[in-house]
Structure 1
Amino acid sequence: MGLIQEFKYLRGALSTLRMTTPIAKNPKRIFPWVVEDLAKRFGDKEALISDRERFTYRGLDARANQYARWAKAQGVGKGDVVCLLMLNRPEYVVIWLGILRAGGVVALLNTNLTGTPLAHSISIVSPKHVIVDSRLLNSFNGAKSQITVQPKVWVHGESNEYDRIEPAIAAMNNSSIPQAERPDLDINDRALFIYTSGTTGLPKAANINHYRLMLAANGFAGAIGTKPTDRMYDCLPMYHSNGGMVATGATLIGGGTVIIREKFSAREFWDDCVKWKCTAFIYIGELCRYLVTAPPNENEKKHSIRVCCGNGMRPDVWPVFQERFKIPKVLEFYAATEGNVASFNFDGTPGAVGRLPKYLAHRFPTRIVKFDVEAEQPVRDKQGFCIVCEPGEVGEAIGQILNDPSKPTSRFEGYADPEATKKKILHDVFEKGDAWFRTGDLLRQDDKGYFYFIDRIGDTFRWKGENVSTNEVAEAFTVFPGVQEATVYGVPIKGYDGKAGMIAIVSEGRLDLASLRSHVTKSLPEYARPLFIRLKRELDVTGTFKQRKVDLVKEGFDPSMVKDDIYFNDQQMGAYVPLDAALYEKIQSRTFRL
């Protein structure tokens, strides 16, 4: 690789290490009290703002003290849990900061959840209190009967049904909390619960200790290079690690300002960036795709953005996104909220999710190991140990778990549910007694150390003896004119091994299916070309824009179960043909070979 790229990588890596190395050496220095120091330094400078609210650094600190005193008055002590169900707003950050100052743990509930998933998310963390945004009361009340614990409910906003929290907070002293009254906390204590997206099942509550919170704030402050002049645009859900910890933490550490929008809008994104004079924004991959497929906006090149940071930007979107919107720097990273595997793409190589060169591999024990897609388990050799992949070979990314105080980045804190924690740990990987964290992701690493995301385990499937990456197939379709979104999954067919490919597409207007088939034939090997195309008006996504495939897989390609139009890739006809009941029966009865 070139010297310039190597320099960019080293500069980013050293800046990140400079900000994160001191964390373990100062175990009592935790983020809630770091904010107090920031308030002394930056005073009346804007810290968190939106259309509705504004907190200076001093105001943020004072309001957090009120929440800390409220929590203590309500019996919240070290390790006690408070659930927060609230839409994006500056006060969101203030609430969890204050409760953390009292020693409490805040569970950041997904605001899109209802019914069983919401009740489950609350029950598994056994909270003493739940704070509910008045606009989300219907969701909460709908799940209430299924909650297996009985927390005290507080409403933020108007309510005749529950106690309102604002008057209780207003009655609290906002002065600095005396040292003698502060709980005995360090970086090893739990701070937050952040939930997995629950795309394949009920959400899992990931343990986030104060070390991980500091790591997110300081690490990304170093990686992004945040400074007091920065203004970070944050329209991602604040219950998510990117929107809640990374964007806010990194910006505050640098003395900048976070502009918080309630939810993402592709139509108003660039208008907001110009209006608020933003210099940075946080993303997840689908956000970038939505922007690229949106109509031109007069402000899309008039912004002052110097960097965007996030994960999941697809290789087909990256160059188009950067060129169209004139973004100087894209900082892509790879990390799991709860895991010990992380990497940064400091030099901006399109498509790479990070890099770990050989000369740093000993310091960050991340490996890609051979993986059996059908068994959904790593491959073992004759001695029973895992096998490291060769450069360019696809396998599961794993990170070594070490309970060494000098290497806190190698810890795995797990989930609220011990059984869920066990499933993520791989034992006896390279030697008897070792333990490694399973990311659940298939990656490949090239000979220069760059990592490339291939697929989620469980999404990849086998057809005709070959592994099919749903991500790579989707990318081949989404570059075709008129295809706005696509999600790929495998469906079983009676009498055939493996699963056949099926793709659900959202298109802009009517698709030219003949041209699409020609494009796919040139772009993908025969085994990877989906047999079935389902045309949809929209795809089901989580609050963090991750595509939900569970119902799509369940419905399969049975026209009696699917209301949308389905097309079959007919090899004999050389065309995509409508799939009706008669054709469905022919396929199921193996009248012709697939």
Structure 2
Amino acid sequence: MRLPKPAIINQTKAIGLSKSFLFFNFNENDIAYICTPLYHSAATVLGFFNTIDVGATILIGRKFSARAYFDEVRKHNVTVIQYIGEMCRYLIRVPPNDLDKVHKVRVAIGNGLRPDIWEEFKGRFNIPLIAEFFGATEGTTGTWNILNKPGCIGRWSPLTRQFGPPRGVGSFLVRHDPITYEPIRDKNGRCVLLKPGEEGLFISGVPEYITAFYKGTKEMNEKKIVRNAFKDGDVFFNFGDLFYLDKHYYMYFRDRVGDTFRWKSENVSTREVSDAISTLPFIQDANVYGVQIQGADGRAGMAAITFNHGISVTTELLQQMYRKIEHELPSYARPIFLRILNEQIVTQTMKHRKIELVEEGFDPNKVTDPLYVLDNLAKTYVPLSLDNYSQVIHSKL
């Protein structure tokens, strides 16, 4: 997991982003509810600045509480809610009640809503419009799903790719090397545009007035730059994220480049694995990452899992999980290890933390949570303890 970097937000970017909610007729009669930290750009630059711009009302929650969330929304007649990360997943895990659809919310704006719960969240709480966006605080453009298209983060047609900030420079989806995750170059040394049905990197032009993305070293900023992409001298910002483009030019977020690992000489997407596990009805959430095994190349998959309230680990549930994973994922992408958590470790913006989990790995000497290891012969996951730990790490996984 990448550590945070201090991103630069100049006045041009701040003013431009403060107009974002106009897509949804955000006006002085709206009441917006935000319960994420104001030191994050989603809350401040989008939520707070857009509210100031039109003279609307903003309700700032002290903290996010899944159980109290819609009580607050109803109490204050909120019309616009802003979500981020895994917030919506926690909301749908709260037991249903007769008041779920009783509110005045007309649009939910945010990023990070997973496709596997999109329709469930929208339907259960009767949200008329979900406006998913993609962007980065340090980036030079962004995308918006203003068409209520489930799962997508915007549209990238031959026409629309030429518009949006920075004007005249454009943003593009380009093919990437699956090993290095760098843009692929053709025989002339230029980037290759993505075709419908392919996955690739999102890059956007850097206007001359932007000289740095981060408050840091030149090397830190240079890592995000793609030069001479389509002609000599052009400069593009590489978001470092993978997207899928369908035949109708809708864009779908696939994974962060940093959230992949290699196992059995294959690249494994942590998001793909997490999405597969999370569709099981008894799973609340799954945080997937790679862990090192002594003497093995690459990293083996491991999933830190939380169950829905009142659910405990049973032999039958472990067998169901095995069958689901076997059916949904190729052999190299199937998690070798499971760690059962009482609650997920997340950032203040509801994003999974991986650093501590990766460092602790699957060693029972370090991990007090229940651990399980894949057993293909038994077609299930079996307990991993000090008794069989040595046997596991010396076996051929």
Quote the residue 1:369 is aligned against: 174
Distance 2:60 2:213 in 1: 29
Q: Aligned partners of 1:388, 1:499: CA distance in 2, in Å? A: 31
Bigger Rg over Cα: 1
Q: Which of 23, 26, 39 does residue 239 from structure 1 map onto?
A: 39
| CA distance in structure 1 between the partners assigned to 2:83 and 2:279 by the alignment | 20
Identify the match of residue 215 of structure 2 among 416, 423, 427: 416
Equivalent residue in structure 1 for 2:19, among 212, 218, 225: 218
- Is the Cα contact below 8 Å between 1:368 and 1:389 reproduced in 2? yes
Give the equivalent residue in structure 2 for 1:329.
129
Amino acid aligned to 1:279: T
Query: After superposition, what is the alpha-carbon deviation per residue over 1:205-249, rounded to whole angstroms, capped at 9, x for unaligned?
Result: 1111111111111122x2121122211111121111121121122
**Cα offsets for 1:258-295 (capped at 9, x unmatched):** 11111111111111111101111111131111101112
Are the equivalent residues in 2 in contact too, given 1:373–1:462 (CA < 8 A)? no
- Which secondary structure state, in structure 1, belongs to the residue aligned with residue 128 of structure 2? coil
8 Å Cα contact 2:85-2:349 kept in structure 1: no
**How big is the shift at 1:490?**
1.3
Picking from 473, 476, 488, the partner of 2:273 is 473
Which of 207, 214, 222 does residue 402 from structure 1 map onto? 207
Match 1:485 to one of 265, 282, 285? 285
Q: Contact 1:200 / 1:548 at 8 angstroms: preserved in 2?
A: no
SS at match of 2:147: coil
Distance 1:539 1:215 in 2: 35
- Change in Cα spacing, 1:318 to 1:462, as seen in structure 2 (3 Å) is same
Counterpart residue number, 2:113 = 313
Residue 341 of structure 1, aligned match among 117, 141, 144: 141
Query: Which ranges in structure 2 are unaligned for 5 or more consecutive residues?
Result: 165-169
Shift of 1:435: 1.5
Deviations 1:71-110 (A, max 9, x none): xxxxxxxxxxxxxxxxxxxxxxxxxxxxxxxxxxxxxxxx
Query: What does residue range 397-476 of structure 1 map to in structure 2 within 5 Å?
Result: 397-403=202-208, 411=210, 413-419=212-218, 420-476=220-276
Could you tell me how far apart the structure 2 residues matched to 1:428 and 1:492 are?
37
Instruction: Report the AA paired with residue 85 of structure 2.
Output: G
Call closer, same or farther: CA 1:369–1:462 in 2, change over 3 Å.
Answer: farther
Deviation of residue 308 (structure 1)?
A: 0.8
TM-score, scaled relative to structure 2 = 0.91
Matched, 1:257 2:62: no
The percentage of counterpart residues that share the same residue type is 41
Deviation by residue 1:109-158 (Cα, 9 ceiling, x = unmatched): xxxxxxxxxxxxxxxxxxxxxxxxxxxxxxxxxxxxxxxxxxxxxxxxxx
Q: Do structure 1's residue 524 and structure 2's residue 329 form an aligned pair?
A: yes
Secondary structure, aligned partner of 1:207: coil
Per-residue deviation, 1:297: 4.1
Cα deviations across residues 24-76 of structure 1 (Å, max 9, x unaligned)? xxxxxxxxxxxxxxxxxxxxxxxxxxxxxxxxxxxxxxxxxxxxxxxxxxxxx
Find the aligned partners of 1:431 and 1:493 in 2 and give their Cα distance.
44
User: 1-side partners of 2:264 and 2:196: how far apart?
Assistant: 25
Question: 1:388 maps to which residue?
Answer: 193
Deviation of the 1:491 alpha carbon: 1.7
The match for 1:510 among 304, 312, 322 is: 312
Measure how far apart 1:572 and its partner are.
1.6
Inter-partner Cα distance in structure 2 for 1:584 and 1:296:
41
Cα separation, 2, equivalents of 1:314 and 1:412: 34
Secondary structure of the structure 2 residue equivalent to 1:440: strand
Q: Note if 1:538 corresponds to 2:339.
A: no
Q: Does 1:353 align with 2:150?
A: no
Match of 1:271, SS state, is helix
Higher helix share: 1
Q: Give the alignment's TM-score, normalised by structure 1.
A: 0.62
Match of 2:167 in 1: none
Do the aligned partners of residues 341 and 582 (structure 1) sit closer, same or farther apart at CA in structure 2, a change above 3 Å counting? farther
How large is the Cα RMSD of the aligned pairs? 2.0
Number of matched pairs: 386
Counterpart of 1:211, as a letter, is T
Q: Distance in 1 between matches of 2:61 and 2:333?
A: 40
8 A contact 1:396–1:438 mirrored in 2 = yes
- In structure 2, distance between residues paired with 1:386 and 1:231: 44
Equivalent positions of 1:49-448 (< 5 A) are: 200-201=2-3, 203-220=4-21, 222-364=22-164, 365-403=170-208, 411=210, 413-419=212-218, 420-448=220-248
Per-residue deviation at 1:376?
4.2
1:11 alignment counterpart = none
Letter in structure 1 aligned against 2:361:
G
**Runs (4+) off by over 6 Å:** none
Distance 1:412 1:452, change over 3 A: farther
Structure 2 distance, partners of 1:356, 1:373, is 22
Q: In 2, Cα distance between the equivalents of 1:469 and 1:574?
A: 23
SS at 1:458's partner residue?
helix
Q: What is the Cα deviation at residue 383 of structure 1?
A: 4.1
Per the TM alignment, residue 580 of structure 1 is displaced from its structure 2 partner at its CA by: 2.7
1:318 partner amino acid: W
Report the equivalent of 1:61.
Answer: none
- 1:567 corresponds in structure 2 to 372
Q: Distance in 1 between matches of 2:211 and 2:28?
A: 33
Read off the aligned partner of 1:463 and give its amino acid letter.
W
Which whole-Å deviations, capped at 9, do the CAs of 1:327-375 have from their partners, x for residues lacking one? 1110111111110131111111111011122212222422223333543
Residue 557 of structure 1 aligns with which residue? 362
Retained in 2: the 8 A contact 1:506–1:539?
yes
Match of 1:418, as an amino acid? T
SS at match of 1:489: strand
Relative to 1, partners in 2 of residues 1:387 and 1:494: Cα closer, same or farther, differing over 3 Å?
farther
Q: Which amino acid aligns with 1:213?
A: A
Alpha-carbon distance change, 561 to 379 in structure 1, aligned in 2, over 3 angstroms: farther
Aligned to 1:117: none
| Distance (whole Å) between structure 2 residues aligned to residue 382 and residue 243 of structure 1 | 44
Contact 2:363 2:389 in 1 (8 A): yes
Equivalent position of 1:154 in the other structure = none
Q: Name whichever of 316-325 and 415-424 sits farther off.
A: 415-424
> Counterparts of 1:582 and 1:427 in 2: how far apart (Å)?
54
